[in-house]
Amino acid sequence: MAIKVYNTLTRKKEAFKPINLGRIGWYNCGPTVYNYIHIGNARNVVCFDIIRRYFEYSGYEVKFAQNYTDIDDKMINRARELGISVPELADKFIRQYEKDAAMLNVRLPTVSPRATYHIKQIIGQIKKIQEKGYAYETEDGVYFDVSKFRKYGKLSGQNIDELKKGARVDINEKKKDPLDFALWKKEKPNEPSWDSPWGKGRPGWHIECSAMNTTYLGDTFDIHSGGKDLIFPHHENEIAQAESATGKKYVKYWLHNAFLNINREKMSKSLGNFMTADEALKRFDPRAIRFFFLETHYRSEIDFSEENITTAKHSLERIDNFVFANKDAAENPKVRKIVDKYKKGFIKAMDDDFETPNAVAAIFEMIKEVNKIGTGKEAYDFLVEIDSVLGVLKKEEGKINEDIENLIEERENARKSRDFRKADNIRDELKSKGIILEDTDKGVRWKRV
Ligand code: AMP
Ligand code: ZN
């Protein structure tokens, strides 16, 4: 059965079909690196890490790109406050982000482009937009002319007139229409700037994403994600920019996570109601934070409280105890049967737009049934296997994957030294563990049957 994903663009769950068989190009809007990320931002990062890992578990190769916004008003103001340069500020908070992500057991992206390292590509895309008649220049910048892009509003499901009513008018910008947005901002005194065909200046926020992701993933790619606050205007503007520049469809599936709230209000820096990920990771068990996110579907809102994290920690402890009890257990055919049933349940839940709460429920049902009849190594193996997606078990449980990798390496070495019998024996041994090897032009890959 195919994986189904809820696509914001069509407002339905759709069977996922990548553009290139077996491969996925994915872009997630990353942090503006002017400060610590908060636990709401962390939700975005963890949810999409789990989904990315599930695609990989299902056999896809995922190229995951996530940007660092390292130039905008917030960056400039904060650097000034701290008395450091904008690049110094960016370096500091990129390091901090990487540390938080590692603590949350989030894999780093395949590529992490920084806006200021891609000014050439950004200017290139603005030029194309302008050549095709979708942009105009004023005394303070280059703007996208929204009235020229007929499909504007297709992601947020609103037409231009409706959007106009709600648009914020920024009196500081010299543009024709409130919905128009800056592609290039001309230089202001004491601000970082780069040369361009429109004089010195810096890119607008929206253009950095569409210029960088099309550079790394191509004009059309599979998945674009972010928090739902980005649907309008950010993602709407990205579509307008990319599709007017390339004349092609930009993204196939748009995925958006719901907010993490605190006292029923969206956690955000501007409201001041936030807890940084750094602080949360010091106060709570990082595994419990990840598990807390998992217990709620990524498109449902979630309430952050100390109590909720503590509850998540207790649930996780039940899994920990079960892992401990079954780790060195003997094989047990009855347990195998139970595991087979709940593995199907896990996959069914995850295939259905990544229903992690149901996947977690399947795990607890499995634990309950196994506990009734005793123990079994198979149950432990199953939990370790799906932990390549969930990433919540204690670190040493990753050892099984390591053992598999070691065996694969041994087989490779045997083949190189033309010891084909040994290589075949290792292949058979892995097969008996449910591991299938595939020789590809990029080397050997493995998957579970
Ligand atoms: P920002 O730095 O505010 O642009 O946010 C970075 C990412 O986190 C974006 O994808 C946002 O949509 C997402 N985000 C921001 N606040 C929240 C929140 N309270 N809950 C969930 N995601 C959020
Ligand atoms: Zn973006």
pLDDT digits (tens, 9 = 90+) for 429-448: 888 777 888 877 767 777 76
pLDDT digit string (tens) for 402-436? 677 778 888 888 888 777 888 888 888 888 777 88
pLDDT value of residue 397: 61
pLDDT value of residue 423: 86
Ligand nearest to the CA of 97: 1
Ligand nearest to the CA of 260: 1
pLDDT value of residue 399: 57
> Whose C-alpha lies nearest to ligand 1, atom 14?
41
Fold entry, domain 4-257:
Rossmann fold (3.40.50)
* Protein residues within 5 Å, CB atom, of ion ligand 2: 29, 209
Ligand nearest to the CA of 267: 1
This prediction has a pTM of 0.88
Average pLDDT over residues 295-311: 97
80: burial class by Cβ within 10 Å (0-12, 13-18, 19+)? Answer: middle
Residues 340-350 as b or e (16 or more Cβ within 10 Å = b): eebbebbbebb
- Backbone phi, then psi, for 22, in 5-degree steps? 80, -5
User: Cα of 31 to ligand 2 centre, how many Å?
Assistant: 9
Nearest atom of ligand 1 to the alpha carbon of 225: 10
User: Above pLDDT 90, what percent of the chain?
Assistant: 83
Q: In the structure, what pLDDT confidence band is assigned to residue 289 with cuts at 50, 70 and 90?
A: very high
Helices 420-432 and 399-416, interaxial angle, to 10°?
160
pLDDT digit string (tens) for 85-98? 999 999 999 999 99
Q: In the structure, what pLDDT confidence band is assigned to residue 449 with cuts at 50, 70 and 90?
A: low
pLDDT value of residue 361: 98
Residues 294-327 as b or e (16 or more Cβ within 10 Å = b): bbbbbbeebebeeeebeebbebbeebbebbebbb
**In what helix (H) or strand (E) does residue 12 lie, and over which residues does it extend?**
strand 12-15
Average pLDDT over residues 57-63: 97
Confidence check: pLDDT of 13 > 90 = yes
Q: From the centroid of its chain, how far is CA 255?
A: 10
CB of 255 within 6 A of ligand 1: the answer is: no
pLDDT value of residue 345: 98
Residue 151 tokens read as 């499909």
pLDDT digit string (tens) for 162-178? 888 777 666 677 899 99
> Whose C-alpha lies nearest to ligand 1, atom 21?
259
CB of 303 within 6 A of ligand 1: the answer is: no
**Summary mean pLDDT of the chain:** 94
**The architecture CATH gives domain 306-390:** Up-down Bundle (1.20)
For the beta carbon of residue 433, count every other beta carbon within 10 angstroms. Answer: 13
Q: Whose CA is closest to 381, among 419, 434, 305, 418? A: 434
Q: Whose CA is closest to 393, among 307, 275, 294? A: 294
Contact status, residue 155 vs residue 194, Cβ threshold 8 Å: no
